[in-house]
Structure 1
Amino acid sequence: MHSTPHHPRHRWDGSRTNARPHRSLRLAPEPGTPLLRAGQTGRCRDCGNLIEWYHRPDHRPVPLHPKELPADFVPETNRWSVSAGIAYPAGDGTAWCRVPHAALCPAHPSEPVTEQLAALRRTMATYTRRLIDTGRFTPQRPAPARHHPNRPARPVVQILGIRYLAAHQVEDIHCLARSTSTRARCTQPLADPTCTPGTWRLLPVTVSTSRQLALPGQADMLVYDLMGLPYTEQVRWRSQRCRHHTATRAEMATSDWEPFDPLVHHEHIRTDLPDPAPRSSRATSRCHYT
């Protein structure tokens, strides 16, 4: 039995056929296109449940529950809709809607508003406990303070004149590319000790527009400034690649950069400089790029 039907070489009148055998669709081992952003599946770092990553109109990522829920069971403030791969914080008028994962995550202290969402959260909490008991999931805890005692957990990084809110500490941001040896995500950090690091500075609080506008009456904020690095080095940080995968386009995860908005991310604004980290002997050597 063959998956491809058999085609005779000649028709009934004796003419020769030009039928080509069907080929199954395959994915190239090294795709040259970037990672698809619409509906990228993943797991919550706090509870281990499935989530789907989408981008909002302002290009900020948002994790949504993978399944649609009846709109009658969801408050209007938690109704989301997805159109053309973009997530919008409002319902689309249908009887179904999407819900942000933060409203259902068992690791968050807030309780759902409706009984239906509370029941779904209990089901997700049971699944989290099952993952922990079987050893398939370990909740991520904050990085130990012994490495960087006075560093912000989510610093504001300035790259190519634009400020981004990082998802982790600067030393914990890893490459997005896929390792050619293990076929898994690269584990190399962006902060290479052999390259010149950025500088912690206190800069004015600005709004990200076509022109950086300073907010009046605001104290200076802590920023990890990379503007003093070469252009190629800043591009490497912005694309989130280590020195070995600067030319690789294939990505294994979403970017850890989120456009910084002082009105939205005000809880991450710090006004004091961190303690200087100990410098190793290798950190003094410069890294050159061609």
Structure 2
Amino acid sequence: MVRALDADGCQLRATRRDSRVPWAHHQRRRVFRPGLARCAVRPVPVVRRPTSSRTGAQGRALPPRSPAAEPAGGSVRGHRGRCHRPWLRPNPSTGEGPFPTAVLLGGLESTKEESYQFEQQLLARGIATVTFDGPGQGEMFPEVPLRGDYERYTSAVVDYAEKLPEIDSSRIAVVGRSLGGHYALRSAALDDRFIACISWGGFADMDSYDEETPMTKESWKYVTASSTDEESRERVMTLMDVRSELHKLRVPTYIQHGMHDEVPVSEVEVVKQLAVDAP
């Protein structure tokens, strides 16, 4: 379908569909072939010359995006040696830089491509964006499962972004949704280059793990590469806890949460009680 749209000159529609393919590919591996999910596909270090269906679709989608996204690469010494990671950096198509920038963090079992629509909202307002796959997400997952030190990866992205002439290094914020909201709190607390933090449906800890739905527990088990439910529970409750670091959060922080979210709204109060220096 994507090739047919592209052949007919419908580039924008083809681009939008191509942007969805990597997410669908990621979900198919878990939901329909869980036995193979942890082993087969190696990530492509840079998206310029993609070779898999997942990165190939994203690579095709980059040039016609409005505004166009620029692929970039970087590395973080982590779980298994030096892990090279691609990320995408579209800039606003109007106005002159340097631009304020939002580093976007995805949630549980997410991929960077899921941020496409949110990117468009920010770009339309003159805010550049950077999206990437971290541990347990998208292209990084086959190499590195979920980790507690996600801020190391976020900081590596800032290392890259702050050197670009079109990026205003004095105005970089971090925005995370769901599990990404937890990572946003951690990243802003441990990297003082962020000037603002948005935690959208995030949390400070996973003390409520036992209240999660069976499907969500299965997702945790998948991204932690755990063999048993108990192993998954122990890893999640140990790794997903930022309470001891929240006193370091000193930038303006906005928390958005839904009353019916699976993560209890009481997590908002936990953050407010511990992040005493965050405006």
**TM-score, reference length from structure 1:** 0.26
Max radius of gyration: which structure? 1
**Which one has the bigger helix percentage?**
2
